[in-house]
Amino acid sequence: MIPIEKVQDIVKRHSDLEKELSSENLDTKLFAKKSKEYSNLGSVIDIAKEYLNFEVEKKGLEQILEDKNTDSEMIDMAKKDLGEMNKKKEKYENQLKIFLLPKDEDDDKNAIVEIRAGTGGLEASLFCADLFKMYEKVCSKKKWSLELISISKSEAGGFKEVIFSVSGNDIYSYLKYESGVHRVQRIPETETQGRVHTSASTVAVLPEVEEVDIEIKESDLRVDVFRAGGPGGQSVNTTDSAVRITHIPSGVVVSQQDEKSQHKNKAKALKILRSRVYEAEKRKKDQERSSNRRSQIGTGDRSERIRTYNFPQGRVTDHRINLTLHKLDEFLSGEIHEEMNQELRLKEQNIKLENLK
């Protein structure tokens, strides 16, 4: 049972924000922040108002049932309406519970995604490229903007590593479930005896953070510049445009050489470095809070095997929720990726609801 005061608070806050946003005196930064909160509340405001009306409607129906002068037909109708209303109230209550659950402070942030080929040699690099194509299609389908930050190609035509940023609405809240080890089982093109090989790629999804989210002192950074090199030692340019930044307190190191401009490479490297340092500090805090760790289904540990893509059987299995979809081609094309993500979200919400009891 949700305390009625919490639902009343939702309605009141929505009304207060509506008045504030219509004021001409609101600061630009505050306007953006309050607009987002107002939009967020807008997703449940109708449900909250309906929920508050249930008690009034319930009393009216109960009066009909208690009235001795009410005919049997009216009683039957009132009983039916009361039963349907209670079912509706239970549904709304569950939706409000989920809305009132503690939110991940990073859910509305954009994300930086890093995919690296793991065990399996050249086959792992090909799978790394397949995963990138899958996320490209997911982003296109959801109308998110994807920007390539850096890429390292393999001899087989795949990727040793690819890093990109994704921007749009509620990016991190969706993509955070992709962090971990993705395993593939298939027959490589170079396999002459038809044997199935297993290889893997690692995906790390980091919330994209601004300077206001984390303080990184200039004195804590060591910046080295060097000449960018291409495959096989081939020189990309003749200037020291590549940048390597080391965050001394944490030991996090980021190198960037895709751009011909040293300034652009440094800006990209700092963008990645901020997110990596922020993620490391966040994970440390989460580990200190055992209750928070129990409420997660695996959204940060990149060493955890989360999913298997089995090509001979045409299936994809998520090991965190024991869900198997026998539509591998559709999944890799981004068509049913949403279905898996919804189940992961639902599972985590249920765990959090259990912890609230």
Q: What is the mean pLDDT of residues 164-193?
A: 89
260 close to 276: Cβ distance less than 8 angstroms: no
d(CA 21, CA 312): 56
Q: What's the confidence (pLDDT) of residue 235? A: 45
CATH class of the domain comprising 111-212+289-356: alpha beta
Q: What's the confidence (pLDDT) of residue 307? A: 96
Q: Is the pLDDT of residue 267 over 80?
A: yes
Q: What is the mean pLDDT of residues 154-177?
A: 91
* Residue from 199, 174, 202, 206 nearest 184 by CA: 199
Q: What's the confidence (pLDDT) of residue 189? A: 76
Q: What is the mean pLDDT of residues 204-230?
A: 83
Q: What's the confidence (pLDDT) of residue 165? A: 95
pTM across the whole model: 0.70
Q: What is the mean pLDDT of residues 228-243?
A: 60
| Angle of the 45-66 helix axis to the 4-21 helix axis, nearest 10 | 140
Q: Indicate the CATH number for domain 218-286.
A: 3.30.160.20
* Residue from 232, 114, 130 nearest 189 by CA: 130
Q: Of all helices (H) and strands (E), which one includes residue 283?
A: helix 262-288
Q: Where are the domains of the chain?
A: 4-100, 111-212+289-356, 218-286
Q: How do strand 305-310 and strand 180-186 relate by DSSP bridges?
A: parallel
Q: Is the pLDDT of residue 121 over 90?
A: no
Q: Is the pLDDT of residue 296 over 70?
A: no
- Mean pLDDT value across the chain: 86
Q: Is the pLDDT of residue 227 over 90?
A: no
How confident is residue 116, by pLDDT bands cut at 50, 70 and 90?
very high
